[in-house]
């Protein structure tokens, strides 16, 4: 009877063991499937976010292009253009200011943050100015952290520069810029990939600088972590 009882126990163990192994495999397969599903969802969220950001930037670029076609700029009436630019500045939730730069001197001729008539002062972003002048295209500059405004005691807020050429006789006569607030980009990131879902998400420029992060607005314009940089297409190790 004991031998029979022990045989039943061995049979029971033999039956349970494969089930335990099967259950372990199923758990691992389920975990892999869930991981793949999360990765797919994250990719879809990222693609959706990229499309929304593209659409937002395209809308801002088109608005700035329309402003660049102003008759006031065509006849060099900067005083009347200033009034038009001020209205555009305050009607656009994303813009901190509208700026006109003389591409021949790199001097800012007007800035809607100041009253009209302020003496010209040097631009602090020569690189994107040169790119606009050479390519005759819309340029989105690198995210810029808060800093002093040349010749004043004021501090400019964090911004993303958007620049368009104002053409005359096939040459760049002015560079028209709008400094865009990063808050709206962060809001897009937050709404698409909220931290409550466990995601730590970044929106970065082609150079790996943070444009927005869903967890920390203070990281604006800093270099993204290495794990983020290695995921960038064509990233060459900044």
Question: Residues 180, 158: contact at Cβ < 8 Å?
Answer: no
CA dist 221 and 235 (Å) reads: 17
Range of the domain at 123: 59-181
pLDDT score of 28: 59
Q: What is the pLDDT of residues 56-87, one digit of tens each?
A: 888 888 999 999 999 999 999 999 999 999 99
**What is the pTM for the complete model shown?**
0.72
Q: How many domains does the chain have?
A: 1
Q: What is the CATH number of the domain that holds 97?
A: 3.30.450.20
Query: Is residue 214, in this structure, part of any structural domain at all?
Result: no
For residues 113-144, one letter each, b for 16 or more C-beta atoms within 10 angstroms of the residue's C-beta and e for the rest, the string is: beeeeeebbebebeebbeebbeeeebbbbebb
**Cα four-point dihedral sign 127, 54, 143, 154:** positive
Query: Is residue 133, in this structure, part of any structural domain at all?
Result: yes
Token pair, residue 66, equals 């329309």
Residue with tokens 């693609």: 47
Q: DSSP character for 209? A: B
Q: What is the pLDDT of residues 130-170, one digit of tens each?
A: 889 999 998 888 888 888 876 677 787 888 888 999 999 88
Show the DSSP H helices in 69-101 as ranges.
71-74, 78-91
pLDDT score of 144: 82
Between strands 107-111 and 210-213, the pairing is unpaired
pLDDT score of 167: 93
Query: Is residue 5, in this structure, part of any structural domain at all?
Result: no
Query: Is residue 86, in this structure, part of any structural domain at all?
Result: yes
Question: Residues 141, 148: contact at Cβ < 8 Å?
Answer: no
């Amino acid at each position: 009877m004991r031998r029979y009882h022990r045989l039943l126990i061995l049979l029971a163990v033999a039956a349970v063991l494969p089930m335990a192994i099967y259950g372990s495999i199923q758990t691992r397969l389920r975990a892999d499937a869930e991981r793949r599903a999360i990765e797919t969802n994250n990719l879809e969220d990222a693609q959706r976010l990229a499309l929304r950001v593209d659409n937002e930037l395209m809308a801002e670029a088109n608005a700035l292009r329309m402003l660049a076609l102003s008759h006031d700029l065509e006849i060099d009436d900067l005083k009347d253009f200033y009034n038009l630019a001020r209205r555009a500045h305050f009607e656009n939730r994303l813009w901190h200011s509208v700026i006109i730069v003389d591409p021949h001197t790199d001097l800012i001729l007007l800035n809607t943050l100041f009253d009209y008539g302020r003496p010209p002062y040097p631009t602090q972003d020569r690189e994107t100015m040169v790119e606009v002048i050479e390519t005759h295209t819309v340029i989105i500059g690198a995210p810029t952290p808060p800093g002093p405004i040349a010749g004043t005691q004021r501090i400019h807020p964090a911004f993303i520069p958007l620049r368009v050429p104002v053409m005359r006789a096939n040459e760049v006569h002015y560079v028209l810029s709008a400094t865009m607030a990063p808050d709206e980009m962060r809001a897009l990131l937050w709404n698409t990939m909220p931290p409550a879902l466990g995601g730590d998400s970044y929106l970065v420029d082609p150079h790996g600088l943070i444009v927005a992060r869903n967890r920390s607005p203070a990281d604006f314009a800093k270099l993204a972590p290495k794990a983020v940089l290695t995921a960038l297409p064509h990233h060459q190790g900044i």
